[in-house]
Structure 1
Amino acid sequence: MVRFDCTMCGRCCHGLRLPLSLAEAVGWLRDGHEVQLFCEAIPWPSEPSDDNLPAMHKRRRSFEAMSGSLPIRVIVTLMASFDGPCPNLLPDKRCGIYDRRPATCRIYPAEVNPFIALDPRAKLCPPEAWEGETPIIADDGRWANADLASTIVCSRDADAYDAALKPQLCAMLGCATAALSNEGMVIHSPSREALLAALNATLGADGDRFPGDDRSWQLVTNRQPTYDALVEIGASHASPAGMAVAGLDYLGYFAADLV
């Protein structure tokens, strides 16, 4: 059993990249805050078997696309990014939008990804938070709180629902550049007005397709072996050099070795 009681230390409300659903992103933007798109792509030459649960999880939260001649699946995560305290954090460390705070905030420190185990050492919470009386994980390994478990399921369902809409959102924003999954992220930073307009149009589209839905995605890497492999298999490829000119940023997980 794992126990957890929030101490209201505020550590989890500082310097975050906070994943948002499409609907949550609309609210965040309307409040005057910034949202970015973090894009990663997974080579997907064939469909995995149904019993490959990690792959099926990735499939559920992604959409199909092409990069040159390479079939891929793209995961686009809308992120509320900020340095320092969350813009909704009050001086007394209470949340200023507590009743409508994003699902990620409601779930923390629990995990949305079913293949990531809760590790107190990986969380920002102080040690005393894990010495409380309230169970968060029961002896059988399940979430001990029914409301928490329900929120996690709803968050996964919203992620899957949004994935089907994100090709249209990306088409409206001219967004078709991604990093390789597990290597990094390409960060798109549209203006607040442009992103809000695209979100409103996407959420109200009723399945209509936008021009550009079928565009080829460009895959970015800062690693020479990956770059060479992309060239060999006929994927649309690029290096991070010059991305800033296009208003993009590359967040790499490895040291660059691209010649």
Structure 2
Amino acid sequence: MSKQINFNCVGCGACCKGRYVPLTLEEAEAWLRRGHRVSILLEAFAIDEDQGDLARYRHNASRGTHVRSGSIDICVIAIFAADAISGCPNLGEGNACQIYDQRPLVCRIYPMEVNPFVAFRTDQKDCPPEAWDTSQTNEVIRPDGQLIPSIKQLVEASRHADQTEALTKVLICEELDLRVTAWKGCGYVIHTPGVDDLMAAISRVSAQQRSPEKQWLVRVHGQGLTDKLRDMQAQLYPANSDDRHLYIPLEATSPN
């Protein structure tokens, strides 16, 4: 059976709203120069390859950086993202992209997935049914189920940037004293520094070559996970603190 998928964008603008859009560092700087804010989503997990899904662990570890939290090392993933929750600031009249030729990698890749562990499914996309009109010739997945070369190249570029920029993004967080992270699978901590502050931090860190050197705090919810991380001697974010970040909780999971 053919696994071919054709995608024909109908310009509905649904993919430009209600989400954070991951950016490479170069894209983040361009976004900031346009005067738009960039948020930083943080999540962390235990450094332990003795797990059931080693491939998934190694994928996540390749996107993260080791930092100190309490008495242990953890791996932190920092995602720099454009805030398009209420709508992309570059969305113009008739849902036309105003920076189409300079749009981020993930926008060029959409509706395909960057994460190799997320299966592509048309029914989980915001696009209307007519976007998948099989009479159109705009092929994105070949009959053998493989991405067409042009999109595959973009996906590989996005994954490469995630890996090569992981340390720099964490150092930028330390430069801005943004050292509160969520636990992977439990939630996200979202920091949104000022445009000028973030641009200055990127400039300062780009000239550095060092390892992370500050203590990080982990924010979680759920007594079971809290107790496990405390037993691991991680430094937990104090309850009832004056938050300078947004915390989006998910269902609490085990610390690995």
Between 97-106 and 225-234, the greater mean CA deviation after superposition = 225-234
Inter-partner Cα distance in structure 2 for 1:56 and 1:239: 30
1:125-146 per-position Cα deviation (integer Å, ceiling 9, x unaligned)? 0011112422221222210x22
SS at match of 1:92: helix
Between 126-135 and 175-184, the greater mean CA deviation after superposition = 126-135
Match runs of 1:1-259 below 5 Å: 1-44=4-47, 46-47=48-49, 52-132=54-134, 133=136, 134-143=138-147, 145-203=148-206, 205=207, 207-209=208-210, 213-238=212-237, 241-242=240-241, 245-254=242-251
The question of whether the paired residues in 2 share the 8 Å contact of 1:48 and 1:56 is answered with no
Cα RMSD of the aligned pairs, angstroms, is 1.9
Instruction: Point out where structure 2 has 5 or more consecutive residues left out of the alignment.
Output: none
Inter-partner Cα distance in structure 1 for 2:57 and 2:127: 30
Inter-partner Cα distance in structure 2 for 1:136 and 1:116: 17
- Which runs of structure 1 show a deviation greater than 3 angstroms over 4 or more consecutive aligned residues? 46-49
Q: Please give the TM-score of this superposition, normalised by the length of structure 1.
A: 0.89
1:28-80 per-position Cα deviation (integer Å, ceiling 9, x unaligned)? 11101111111000111x3459x932111111111111211222110000111
1:86-120 per-position Cα deviation (integer Å, ceiling 9, x unaligned)? 11111022210011100010011000011111111
CA shift, 1:83, in A, is 3.6
Alignment length (residue pairs): 246
The question of whether the paired residues in 1 share the 8 Å contact of 2:78 and 2:170 is answered with no
SS at match of 1:81: strand
SS at match of 1:174: coil
SS at match of 2:94: coil
* Cα 1:141–1:239 shift into 2, 3 Å: farther
Amino acid at match of 2:171: Q
CA shift, 1:199, in A, is 1.3
The question of whether the paired residues in 1 share the 8 Å contact of 2:182 and 2:218 is answered with yes
Inter-partner Cα distance in structure 1 for 2:192 and 2:55: 32
Between 82-91 and 92-101, the greater mean CA deviation after superposition = 82-91
The question of whether the paired residues in 2 share the 8 Å contact of 1:178 and 1:218 is answered with yes
Q: Please give the TM-score of this superposition, normalised by the length of structure 2.
A: 0.90
SS at match of 2:218: strand
Amino acid at match of 2:61: R
CA shift, 1:190, in A, is 1.2
CA shift, 1:239, in A, is 5.1
The question of whether the paired residues in 2 share the 8 Å contact of 1:222 and 1:240 is answered with no
Amino acid at match of 1:17: Y
